Amino acid sequence: MLAHSSQMTTHLFKTSIMSKNNHPLISTSCRSITPEPPVNSNEECYTGIGASRGISIGECYVFVKDKGDHNIKELHEKNISEEIEKFFTALLRSEKELKKIERVTIRKLGKGYSNLFQAQIMMLHDPVLIDAIAERIGSERKPAHLVIEEEFDHYLEKFVNSNDVIFQERADDLQDIKNRIIRNLHIKKLNSWLPEGVIVAADILSPADIILFSRNNIKGFVTDSGGSTSHISLICKSLNIPIVVGLGNFSQKITTGMQLIIDGSTGTVITNPEEKTIAQYISKKEAEKKYEEDTSLTAMLPATTKCGIRITFNANIDFKEELHAVSPAGAEGVGLFRSENLITNGNNVPKESEQFSYYLEMAEMISPMPLDVRLFDIGGDKLIYSPVKEPNPNLGWRGIRILIDLPEILDNQLRAIIRANIHGNLAILIPMIISVDEIRHVRTAVDKHYSELTRAGEWEIEKPGVGAMVEVPAAVELIEEITKCADFISIGTNDLTQYTLAVDRNNVIVQSLFEKFHPAIIRQLHRVIQTANKNHCKVIICGDMGSDPLALPYLLGCGLRRFSVVTSDIPKLKSLVSRYSIAETEALAIECLKLDTSSKIKARLEAFQADH
Give the catalytic positions in this structure.
Answer: 231, 542
Q: Report the DSSP beta bridge partners of residue 62.
A: 201
Contacts of 89 (CB under 8 A, 6+ apart): 184
**Residue 127: which region, alpha, beta or left (left: phi > 0; alpha: psi -120 to 50)?**
alpha
* Residue 586, helix vs strand vs coil: helix
Amino acid of residue 499: Y
Cα distance from N-terminal residue to C-terminal residue, the chain: 52
CA-angle at 151, arms to 147 and 154, nearest 5°: 140
Q: Are 199 and 263 in contact (CB under 8 A)?
A: no
Nearest partner of 194 among 65, 107, 104, judged by Cα: 65
Residue 387: DSSP 8-state: S
Secondary structure of 460-506 as H, E, C letters: CCCCCEEEEEECCHHHHHCHHHHHHHCCEEEECHHHHHHHHHCCCCC
- The number of beta carbons lying within 10 Å of the beta carbon of residue 38 is 8
For 158-189, the DSSP string reads: HHHT-S-HHHHHTHHHHHHHHHHHHHHHTTPP
Q: Name the strands in the sheet holding 268-271, side by side, starting at the edge strand that comes first in the sequence.
A: 44-47, 268-271, 259-263, 55-62, 199-202, 220-223, 243-245, 49-52
Distance, CA of 77 to CA of 2 (rounded, Å) = 29
CA distance 565 to 348: 30
User: Which phi and psi (to 5°) does residue 601 adopt?
Assistant: -65, -45
Tell me whether residue 455 is exposed, middle or buried, using C-beta atoms within 10 angstroms of its C-beta: 0 to 12, 13 to 18, 19 or more. Answer: exposed
CA angle centred on 491, ends 489 and 495, rounded to 5°:
135
CA distance 369 to 333: 5
Please give the Cα distance from 219 to 231 (Å, whole number): 18
Beta bridge partners, 562, equal: 312
Contacts of 6 (CB under 8 A, 6+ apart): 384, 385, 386, 387
The CA distance from 293 to 307, in Å, is: 25
Query: Rounded to whole angstroms, how far apart are CA atoms 590 and 554?
Result: 9
Q: Could you tell me what percentage of the chain is helix, strand and coil, using 3-state DSSP and rounding each to the nearest 5?
A: 50, 15, 35
Checking phi first, is residue 272 left (phi over 0); if not, alpha (psi -120 to 50) or beta? left
Q: Say which residues have a Cβ less than 8 Å from residue 335's Cβ, sequence separation at least 6.
A: 314, 315, 316, 370, 372, 490, 540, 542, 562, 563, 564
Contact 416, 378 (CB under 8 A): no
Provide the residue type at 319 as one letter: F
